[in-house]
Structure 1
Amino acid sequence: MIKKVGQIMVYVNDQDQAVTFWTDKMGFQVISRQDNEQGMKWIELAPVVNAETTIILHNKQLIAKMQPELNVGTPSLLFFTENVDELYRDLTAKNVTVGEIVSMPSGRVFNFSDSEGNYFAVMENANNK
C-alpha cells in the first residue's frame, strides 16, 4: 500500500540552470547527483535535509527520446509555507516571476515561475511544516 510520495520527476531543458534556480532562488538543497556515464544524469533536490518528498530534475529531451510515450510536461506542484508574505517578498527581491497573492478557502496562495517558465504554486499553511 502506498504511504507517501517519495519523489517528483521534473523534466527540464537545462538541468544546471534549473539547479541554480531551485537552490539560489527557492532555497532548496541538492541531496544527490547521479550520472550513469552514458549521458543520463539526475539531480535530487529538497527544501530541507531529510524531506519526505524530493524533486528529481531530469533532462527533458533525453527522457523524451528514451521514452516517447512518457508525458514530460511540468507537473502542477503546490508547496506549503508558514509565511506567504515573507516568501513573496523574498522571491520578488530575487527577481522570480510571481503572481499576486490570492485568498482561497484553504489559505492564501500565489504562483511563481522557474527559469524555464514553468509555473508552480505556494500556499500559506502553518499546519504543514
Structure 2
Amino acid sequence: MIHKLGQVMLYVNDQDQAVKFWRDIMDFIIVSDQENGSGMRWVEIAPSRESGTTIVLHDKAMVAELEPEMNLGTPSLMFYSDKIELLREKLLEHKFPAGEITNLPSGKVFNFADYENNYFAVMEKFIEK
C-alpha cells in the first residue's frame, strides 16, 4: 500500500521561468533536470535534499499533446516555513502577489502566486529538532 507522497506534478507554460521562481525566489534546489531526447523535459525541485516529497515541473503544452484528457490544473499546495514573514517580504520585494498573513487556529498562513499566477499557500511550522 501507499506509504509516502513521492512527487507532485506541476504543469507550467514556461519551465525556465518556473525554475527561476522556485530556485531564486523560493530557495528550492534542483534535484534533477532531464530530457528524454524527444523534447520532453522534466525538472525535479525540492525545498531541500531531506524534504522527501519533490515537485516536478512539466511543460504543460507538451503533456497536453501527449495526454489530452489529463487534468493540467494547478494542485492546491500548502508549504511549511519557519520564516513566514521573511518569505512574504521576499515575494513582495520581487513583485510577486502575496496575501496578508492570517492567524488561524493551526497557525499563521498566507497565499502567494508564481510567474504564471498559480496560487499556493504557506503555513508557519517550526522545524522539530
TM over 0.5: yes
What is the letter of the counterpart of residue 125 of structure 2?
N
TM-score relative to the length of structure 1: 0.94
Report whether the alignment pairs 1:60 with 2:60. yes
d(CA) in 2 for partners of 1:16, 1:89: 23
Alignment partner, residue 24 of structure 2: 24
Q: Name stretches of at least 5 consecutive residues in structure 1 with no aligned partner.
A: none
Alignment partner, residue 87 of structure 1: 87
d(CA) in 1 for partners of 2:49, 2:110: 25
Q: Which runs of 4+ in 1 moved over 4 A?
A: none
Q: Name stretches of at least 5 consecutive residues in structure 2 with no aligned partner.
A: none
Identity %: 52
- Check 1:47–1:127 CA distance in 2 against 1; reply closer, same or farther (3 A cut): closer
What is the letter of the counterpart of residue 43 of structure 1?
V
SS in 2 for 1:64: helix
SS in 1 for 2:87: helix
TM-aligned CA deviation for residue 126 of structure 1? 1.5
* Native 8 Å contact 1:25 1:96 kept in 2: no
Alignment partner, residue 110 of structure 2: 110
Report whether the alignment pairs 1:33 with 2:4. no
TM-score relative to the length of structure 2: 0.94
TM-aligned CA deviation for residue 90 of structure 1? 2.1
Root mean square deviation, CA, Å: 1.4
Aligned residues: 129
